[in-house]
Amino acid sequence: MANLVLPDAVLVKNYISGDESALASLIERHQSKIYGFIYSKVNDRDLSDDIFQDTFIKVIKTLKTKSYNEEGKFLPWVMRIAHNLVVDHFRKAKKMPFQRETEEYSIFNYMTDNAPTIESQMITEQVEVDLTRLLDELPDDQKEVLVMRMYQDLSFKEIAELTGVSINTALGRMRYALLNLRKIIEKNQIILTN
Amino acid sequence: MAKLYSKKKLAPQMILPKKETISFLLNYSKALSTYKVGNVSIEIIAN
């Protein structure tokens, strides 16, 4: 329990020193972001589990061989490993990495709606569908930043490190993404109400 | 401030890895030992 309040860097140090519970704490703390990131790319639960597992096997091996040297940046480091494994997967499979909606998976299956009525559910779903379509109109770099920020809840620092750009560039892309979304909404007179 | 239409509840926040995956990783970590002999790193998995 005490591990939950320790910074990542301390947990990493403890783990390297032999405290196995520190690894459990690190996984518990970051599993949602890392798994969510992987799942957002591959849209497959089993594959996401495989890549999540491979990611942490690399993490464990690196930490156990004491070759980890990015103290204080544990999450971005793990996310970069996960990102590279996702890229490797798509290289092997020769598939496009951004295939969000499939027959088997829809993001709406995983949404919770506090409004109990069918009508409000239908309205909400329609708004989300419209919004998803609007997102598809954005340039890929802007869409990527917006999705990472709004859907995956990553910080701009994390987004910058994952996309290989500066924080200012990531912020700029977010700004232009929102401006472009508003332009599209105004141009097409789309009404998004909830 | 403009209304924000994209809500956090859209995010698949509750999607978590299987318990078996976490369990495997923790057991793997406990079982793995690494030793360095010169420049060579040796990994040993305990049964």
Minimal C-alpha gap between A58 and chain B (Å):
11
Task: For residues A112 and A170, state if they share a domain.
Answer: yes
Record the tokens describing residue A72, joined without a space: 């204080």
The number of CA neighbours under 13 Å toward the Cβ of A42 is: 27
pLDDT score for B16: 92
pLDDT score for B40: 80
Domain count, chain B: 1
Contact present, A159 and A130 (Cβ < 8 Å): no
Q: Give the mean pLDDT of chain A.
A: 85
Confirm whether B4 is domain-assigned.
no
CB atoms within 10 A of CB B26: 17
Which residues does chain B have within 8 Å of residue A107's beta carbon, measured at their own beta carbons? 10, 12
The number of CA neighbours under 13 Å toward the Cβ of A89 is: 23
Candidate from B9, B21, B33 with C-beta closest to A49: B21
- Chain B residue with minimal CA distance to A154? B11
Q: What domain range includes position A120?
A: 107-187
Confirm whether B9 is domain-assigned.
no
First-residue to last-residue Cα distance in chain B: 60
Q: Which of A16, A9, A10, A8 is nearest to A33 (CA)?
A: A8
pLDDT over 90 at A108, yes or no: no
Q: Which of A26, A63, A67, A150 is the best mutation test for B, with the most CBs of B within 10 A?
A: A150
Q: Is the interface score ipTM higher than 0.85?
A: no
Last residue of a domain, one of A48, A71, A93: A93
Contact present, A9 and A74 (Cβ < 8 Å): yes
pLDDT bin (cut points 50, 70, 90) of residue A130 is confident
Query: For the segment A41-80, what is each residue's pLDDT rounded down to a tens digit?
Result: 998 999 999 999 999 999 999 998 888 886 658 999 999 9
- Chain B residue with minimal CA distance to A24? B26
pLDDT score for B46: 79
pLDDT score for A4: 57
Confirm whether B3 is domain-assigned.
no
List residues bridging with B32 in a β-sheet. B45
For residues B32-45, average pLDDT: 82
Minimal C-alpha gap between A35 and chain B (Å):
6
Q: Give the predicted TM-score (pTM) of the model.
A: 0.56
Residue B8, CA distances (Å) to A52, A62, A126, A191 in order: 23, 34, 17, 20
Query: For the segment A135-149, what is each residue's pLDDT rounded down to a tens digit?
Result: 889 999 999 999 999
Which residues does chain B have within 8 Å of residue A31's beta carbon, measured at their own beta carbons? 16-17, 22
Query: For the segment B10-25, what is each residue's pLDDT rounded down to a tens digit?
Result: 555 568 999 999 999 9
Cβ distance of B15 and A64 shorter than 8 Å? no
Confirm whether B21 is domain-assigned.
yes
Whole-angstrom Cα distance, residue A96 to residue A44?
Answer: 14
Task: For residues A9 and A71, state if they share a domain.
Answer: yes
